[in-house]
Structure 1
Amino acid sequence: MTIHTKNKVVAIGGGHGLGRILAALKDFGHNATGIVATTDNGGSTGRIRQCQGGIAWGDTRNCINQLITEPTTSSMMFEYRFRGAGELNGHNLGNLMLTALGNLSIRPLEAINLIRDMLQVEVNIVPMSEHPADLTALSVSGQWVRGETNVDEMSELLQRLYVEPEVPATDEGIHAIQAADCIILGPGSFLTSIMPPLLLPEIGKAIAECSQAKVVFIDNLDNEYGPAGMMTLEQKLNWCQRACGGRQVDILLGENFSDELKLQYQCVEVNLASPNHEWRHDRKKLQQQIEKIILQ
C-alpha cells in the first residue's frame, strides 16, 4: 500500500485556497475530502442566492475547476462565464448548473457528485452544510454586520463570528473528519473561508475528538484585507482552537514564524510559493510537504 491508499486527508476551507490544496491532494483520490464553505454572498453566487435561495455554490465550483486534469467540452462548459449585457452577464455556468441540480436533486451533495462523475474528479467534495446560511459578525466596537462580503469590508477587528441560522453540518463531512489521518486548515481567507465550517459545532467537535489525526494550519503567502488582515497568526490559531473545542493545531506550515510560535507548535518553515505567482501556493510543493507530514 502507498501513502495515498492507506492514509485519509481532509482539507477545510473555501475558494482558491482550498482548491489549491485539493489539487495537491489529487493523488489521494477518494481518500481525500474537501469540506467547503457555503456562506458566500458575493458575485455570481450572491446574485443566484438572492433570486433562487440555497447554499453558496461558488467555492465548490472553484474547487472542482482546480481538480479538472483533462480539458474537455464538459469542463469548458462548467468553467464558462457569460459576458455582455443582460442578466446573464458575469454568471458562471457551473454555478447555474449546480443550482439547477440542487433544485432537482434530493440533496446538494448529489448534485456535486453528479458533476464530479461528469468531470472525472475523484477527490470527494462535501459542502459544510446542505442548508442555506450566512455569516454574521460583531466588531470590537459593537457593530453587527451580516453577509460574507460585508464582513470582508469591515474596517476593524471582530470579537465574534457566527453562522446564522445555526445549520447542521453534512454527515459525510463529519465521517471524513472522524476517519482522517491528517486535517488541513487553510490557506485562504481566514474569516470567510476557513472559519465558517469550523463554526458548525459538529465539525469543531469532530476535530477535537479526532485524536489520531495531525491538524495542520497552512499560512497565507500574502496579507489579507479587512479584519482578517488585522489579525496576527497567533490570534487566528486561537480562533481555530476555540472553535475546535480547545484542540490545538499540531503543525504550522509556512515561513517566518515567530519565536513564540516555535515554542508552542511544530513549525515547518518552507517556501511554498509558485515560481510564477509569489502570492499563490505551488501545488507540487504543497503535495511534497503534506506527504512528509503524514509520513512522520
Structure 2
Amino acid sequence: MDNKYKLNSINRAKDKSILSKRPKVVVVGGGTGLSVLLRGLKEYTTNITAIVTVADDGGGSGVLREDLGMLPPGDIRSCILALANTEPTMEKLLQFRFKEGMLKGQSFGNLFIAAMNEIYGSFEMAIKETSNVLAVTGKVLPMTLENVTLYAVLENGHTIKGESEIPLKNKELASKIDHIYMEPKASYPLKEAVEAFKEADLIVLGPGSLYTSVIPNLLVNNIVDTIYKAKAPKVYISNVMIQPGETDGYTVLDHVNGILKHSRNDFLDYVIANTENIPDDILKKYIFDGSEPVVLGENDEDILNNKGIELIKGNLIDIKKDYIRHDSFKLSEILMKIAITY
C-alpha cells in the first residue's frame, strides 16, 4: 500500500479491526497535556503505549505517596481515564474529588489505584488491573517503579527539591532552570516500556510541563539511548502556554533546547508548534496567572532546521470552558501522517 493511499485512509474510526492495524505510537510525558492528546489519539489507533512520569509529589497523589509509600497515581489515573472505554458515570466517579473531611481534595480514582496497589502488592500490577477493569485502549506504564524525587538546579545556583516545589520556589527566586535531575540516580525503566520504544512506529514527547512532566522521563537510566536507537521518528509537541515558574519567557526553541540538553543534540526529528492566535478575552485569565502563549522566536524555525529538526506548525488549539488546550484530533492526524511517511 503506497503512502498516498495510506494518508487518505487516516481518519477517525470506530472499527477496532481497522484501528488495530494503525501505527504503534509511544507517548511520553504526564499531566493534563498528555491525557488530552491520548483522548484524540485513541480514535486513530489502538496501538498506544503511554509512558507516564511518577515524579509528582503534590496534591492527592503526594498524600498517598507519603501515607502509603506507593508511587503517585495522579498522572497515571488521568491517562488511564483518557484511554478508557467505560460508561460516563464510571468516569465521573473516578474523576470525583471529595470536598469535605479527611479526604478533601482527594480523587476517587487515586483511591481506586491505591486499593489495587494493596490488593496486588505491586504498583505495576495495580495499573494493569485498573486498565483491564476500565477496558483501556493500549497500555499505560509508569516511567519507573523507583520512588524518585525530582530536583531543579537554577541558573543562580539554587537547588529546589520536589516536583511540586519547583514552580513555586523558582517563581520566588526569579531564576531560570538550568537543568533537572532525579534521586536515586539508579532508576530503571520497565522492560515493557523498553520493548514498546523498540517496536514503535512513532515516539512522541509531550505535550506537558517541560521540566516536571516530560523531561523527568528522560532521566531514567538508558531511556535516552533506548529512544535514540529506536527506528521510529521522534516528535516533540511544544506547549501552547508557558508554565509559570517553570518556562517563563520560553519560545518554542527554548522548549526544544530543554529537551536536547537532557538528551542529545540529534535526539528529535520533528517539532509541532501552535501558531494560532488566542482570543484576548480567553488570554486575560492566563495572563493574570502569569502565563502567556508559547511563540516561535524570529529565528526559531531556521535554527531548528539547522539542527536537522523539521518544524510543523498550524492552528492547533481547542478552547473549552475558557481553558486552552491542544486540539487532540488535529495533533493525532499530524502524528499519524508522520508515522506513515517517515
Common fold: TM-score over 0.5: yes
* Partner of residue 55, structure 1: 71
- Give the fraction of aligned pairs with identical amino acids, expressed as a percent: 29
1:169 to 2:189 alignment: yes
Deviations 1:196-224 (A, max 9, x none): 101112211111111x2111111111122
One-letter amino acid of the counterpart of residue 212, structure 2? T
Scaled by the length of structure 2, the TM-score of the pair is: 0.80
Deviations 1:130-157 (A, max 9, x none): 1211101111111111101111221311
Aligned mates of 1:119, 1:209 — CA distance in 2? 33
Deviations 1:153-192 (A, max 9, x none): 2131122211111221122111111111111111110000
Superposed displacement of residue 100, structure 1: 2.2
Aligned mates of 2:91, 2:323 — CA distance in 1? 27
Alignment RMSD (CA, Å):
2.1
For residue 209 of structure 1, the aligned residue among 213, 226, 229 is 229
1:228 to 2:247 alignment: yes
Q: 1:262–1:195: structure 2 CA closer, same or farther, 3 Å change rule?
A: closer
SS in 2 for 1:125: strand
One-letter amino acid of the counterpart of residue 257, structure 2? N
SS in 1 for 2:305: helix
For residue 125 of structure 1, the aligned residue among 140, 153, 158 is 140
Higher Rg: 2
Worse overlay, 239-248 or 121-130: 239-248
Kindly indicate whether the alpha-carbon contact (under 8 Å) linking 2:270 and 2:312 is maintained by their aligned counterparts in 1.
yes
One-letter amino acid of the counterpart of residue 256, structure 2? L
One-letter amino acid of the counterpart of residue 189, structure 1? S
Kindly indicate whether the alpha-carbon contact (under 8 Å) linking 2:97 and 2:106 is maintained by their aligned counterparts in 1.
yes
Kindly indicate whether the alpha-carbon contact (under 8 Å) linking 2:46 and 2:137 is maintained by their aligned counterparts in 1.
yes
1:193 to 2:213 alignment: yes
Superposed displacement of residue 64, structure 1: 1.7
Q: 1:247–1:176: structure 2 CA closer, same or farther, 3 Å change rule?
A: farther
* Gapped regions of structure 1 (runs ≥ 5): none
1:247 to 2:260 alignment: no
Superposed displacement of residue 236, structure 1: 2.7
Aligned mates of 1:223, 1:137 — CA distance in 2? 17
Superposed displacement of residue 6, structure 1: 4.7
SS in 2 for 1:279: strand
* Partner of residue 295, structure 1: 340
* Partner of residue 266, structure 1: 310
* Gapped regions of structure 2 (runs ≥ 5): 1-16, 276-295
Query: May I ask how many residue pairs the two structures share in their alignment?
Result: 294
* Partner of residue 33, structure 2: 17
Kindly indicate whether the alpha-carbon contact (under 8 Å) linking 1:40 and 1:148 is maintained by their aligned counterparts in 2.
yes
Kindly indicate whether the alpha-carbon contact (under 8 Å) linking 1:13 and 1:186 is maintained by their aligned counterparts in 2.
yes
